[in-house]
């Protein structure tokens, strides 16, 4: 039980340090791992308050993960520069204009 408490405290300190450095994704990951460690400590030590607090932390982590998922891809698409977008569009255009598809690997009889 003490090992889980120490691990949870270490992950909590790492979360605060990563937030100070602006590494938000790693900070959220450290916070989720810290909540999981505290949940294990609460279950093993029979501390209902610690179980509830760490469960809320895990729920917050999962909510953040669910909320940031699809939006992150759209945000990346918006931040793509003009040159990268033109390169991507040119590659797609060439692939669509190709008359003959590339031959795939065909199984050859073994001798």
Q: Per-residue pLDDT tens for 28-78? A: 889 889 999 999 999 999 999 999 999 998 898 888 777 765 455 566 666
Distance CA 63, CA 40 (A): 20
pLDDT, tens digit, 9 for 90 and up, residues 3-30: 898 999 999 999 999 989 988 888 888 9
What is the maximum span of the chain, computed from C-alpha positions, in angstroms? Answer: 69
Distance CA 82, CA 23 (A): 27
The answer to whether 28 touches 50, Cβ cutoff 8 Å, is no
Distance CA 28, CA 5 (A): 18
């Amino acid at each position: 039980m003490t090992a889980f408490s120490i691990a949870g405290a270490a992950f909590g300190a790492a979360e605060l340090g990563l937030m100070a450095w602006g590494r938000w994704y790693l900070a959220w990951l450290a916070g989720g791992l810290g909540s999981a460690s505290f949940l294990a400590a609460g279950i093993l030590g029979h501390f209902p308050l610690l179980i509830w607090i760490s469960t809320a932390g895990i729920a917050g982590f999962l909510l953040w993960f669910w909320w940031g998922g699809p939006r992150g891809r759209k945000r990346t698409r918006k931040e793509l520069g003009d040159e990268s977008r033109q390169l991507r569009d040119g590659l797609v255009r060439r692939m669509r204009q190709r008359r003959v598809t590339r031959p795939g690997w065909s199984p050859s009889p073994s001798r």
